[in-house]
Chain A
Amino acid sequence: MKAKKKKKLEKLNLIPILDAIFIFIFFLLMSAQFIDIYQLETEAPVTQAVSKEEIKDKEPLNLKVIINDKNVVIKTGLSTSKSKSFDSTEEGLKNMQQYLTKLKKSHPKEKTVTIAPKNKVTYKKIVPVIDKVKTATDKGIAIELFSLVVFEN
């Protein structure tokens, strides 16, 4: 008689757990997204004007990234402009990111970058450049480079 009682206690009632899991699944299915979607913040094509006071204070960096089909050219400066070219390959874009990290260190207050792709350049070639221009990683730590991306008109 005692042995029978023990056996009955061993059985677990799983129905409440099952109910909870069913409700949980419903909400998870509602919020599930099967491709990871993120966003890149940019600003519409504009013509930028630099005030004379800004130039007097310290010449602005005036960073401009020209995206060609096979290379990316970085231009800086207003009166005396410097330019440097990088390949559109992954290696080339990494080198460009290192160059931009150095620029950011010398101009920590600058946040704006003007992106100027050529008309025939495809969207998939523009996105990796924007990625590299916005952030970099240094020893596993993410560094914000030029977060305000403006397309040139």
Chain B
Amino acid sequence: MFKNKRKREKRENMELDITSLLDILVILLVFLLKSYSASELRLDVAKGIRLPSSDSKTMGNHALIIQMNQKRHIWLNNKLLDESGNLDKLAQELSKYKDDKEKKEFVNIVLDQELEYAQIKELMTLIASNGYPKLKLIVKGDY
């Protein structure tokens, strides 16, 4: 009888109070729900790129992602292509997608807000001449 009582005491001591943990999780849930995005575009903005703010509310779509920072470093789908501002490597890479069956007629362009239009035009013309006439400019939501 005495032994049984001791056993029961031991079991009761092993119970954990998870209420405080649950509180934290619920708070975390609220913040995660706030940052939830229904957009199908998953984007890792390359180093040194500051996106311009826009009033646009159009969600991004999945496609090729071309990024250029202020120093004219170029990325294609998160892979650094060139650090000298030369667009030849990009043209070569884009030509590889010409016969791709899943190829879309648009690309997502991520540009630094300080880039000048002369540089942007050069990039856009090259992309268009490689079979992508529609360009989706990726911007940051305005608050």
Contacts and interface: CB of A to CB of B under 8 A. Distances in A.
B139 A40 contact: yes
Contacts, number: 157
A57 interface: no
Chain A contact surface mostly:
mixed
B124 A44 contact: yes
Interface residues of A, number: 44
Contacts of B35: 28, 32-34
Interface in A31-86: 31-46, 67
A35 B140 contact: yes
Per DSSP, chain B at the interface is mixed
Nearest to B133: A44
Given A42-B135, A127-B54, A135-B55, A25 B125 contact: no
Interface string A10-41: 00001101100110110011011111111111
22 contacts: A18-B21, A32-B35, A36-B37, A37-B51, A37-B60, A37-B138, A39-B61, A39-B137, A40-B54, A43-B135, A44-B124, A45-B121, A46-B133, A119-B118, A122-B114, A123-B52, A123-B111, A123-B115, A124-B52, A124-B53, A126-B120, A127-B139
